[in-house]
Amino acid sequence: MARWLKENSADSDVVVSTRARLARNRAATPFPHKIAGTPQAALVRQAAVDTFIGNGRDFQLMEMKNLSEVEKNRLVEQHVASKELCASEDGALVLSPDESISIMIMEEDHYRLQYLKGGFQPEEAYQVCKEMEHLLAKNVDYAFNNKLGYLTACPTNVGTGLRISVMLHLKGMALAGTVDQILNSLGQFGLTARGIYGEGSSPTADFYQISNQITLGIREEDVVKNIRQVVGRLIHQEREIRKLLYKNNQLEIEDRVLRAYGTLKHAKKLSSEEACQHLSTLALGISLGIINPCSQETIYNLIMDTMPAMLTAENQSVAQRDLARAELIRNTLN
């Protein structure tokens, strides 16, 4: 399970998680793609190791070159590492015991400081990232320009280098056919919507990441405030749409939810896509009080725990994985 996803998270009927991420680079040091395989890359990593490994902290260091493809894919599926980091020869990850804190080293930037929290918690996520940034600053002088702010490999991160992302389950909007219209309007508020694994990924079972687009010419605190206000309105809209759908289509919604529950509870094999879709529908049913076999957080954990890499064992076929996925879900729900 995702160790960082705890029970009783704030607004968990709609929100899976909140992530804060700060991009930082060493001053007077070329960006990662320019120093790959050089002693400078080793210096970048060593500064993070000196900061977060030891000193009373039980964080662990994971070097991408020492991990199998399955192990790297699992980190991506649990949202603690990016595909770009896993593809980096010099890439490394510093990870807290509960996997809520991760420092990606030598990804697109020298450092990506990240904190994951179940539910809607942008303020806490940001504060934890700032604490990590202050700790790292004891060993690193950051690349900073008085006019532009923090300098990053990608121009879209220049300024604060801060991204706040909130994973939302917008099942009501999807069923009502309004999700695209609503998400397309986010640009006017400086936000954007992406798939479940961020930029370049597609939505899965009506889960979306909502994050800030603007990092230049804005204070970090204002980024957090904007996320709180705009995403807060989205959460309210989703709840109202769910209520209206259920009021106007009670039999259809209940039938959809109970069919999904029956399939999940009794199926002998399930593909990843089918499992996600049914779990998404079951989460809707729980939020509407139609059925209560488990918590929302349990559903969200099942979605991550039944992703392909999480179920992959040595020499395991896709068919065997589908059997294992169905068994895990049956055992959890029963």
Residue 108's pLDDT is what? 97
Q: Is 150 left (phi over 0), alpha (psi -120 to 50) or beta?
A: beta
Average pLDDT for the chain? 93
Residues 6+ apart with CB under 8 A from 180: none
CATH 3.40.50.720 fits 15-240, yes or no: no
- What is the domain partition of the chain in residue ranges? 15-240, 249-333
How far apart are alpha carbons 51 and 57 in whole angstroms?
10
The b/e string for 85-124 (b: 16+ C-beta within 10 A; e otherwise) is bbebebbbbbbbeebbbbbbbbbbbbbbbbbbbbbbbbbe
pLDDT in tens, 44-78: 999 999 999 977 778 999 999 999 999 999 999 98
Neighbours of 316 (CB within 10 A): 14
How far apart are alpha carbons 96 and 137 in whole angstroms?
19
Using pLDDT thresholds of 50, 70 and 90, give the confidence band for residue 266.
Answer: very high
pLDDT in tens, 217-236: 999 999 999 999 999 999 99
How far apart are alpha carbons 94 and 105 in whole angstroms?
8
Judge contact between 82 and 104, C-beta under 8 A.
yes
User: Which residues on neighbouring strands pair with residue 165, listed in sequence order?
Assistant: 19, 211
How far apart are alpha carbons 23 and 333 in whole angstroms?
40
Residues 6+ apart with CB under 8 A from 302: 275, 279, 328, 329, 332
The type of residue at 275 is: A
Whether pLDDT at 82 is above 60: yes
Whether pLDDT at 188 is above 70: yes
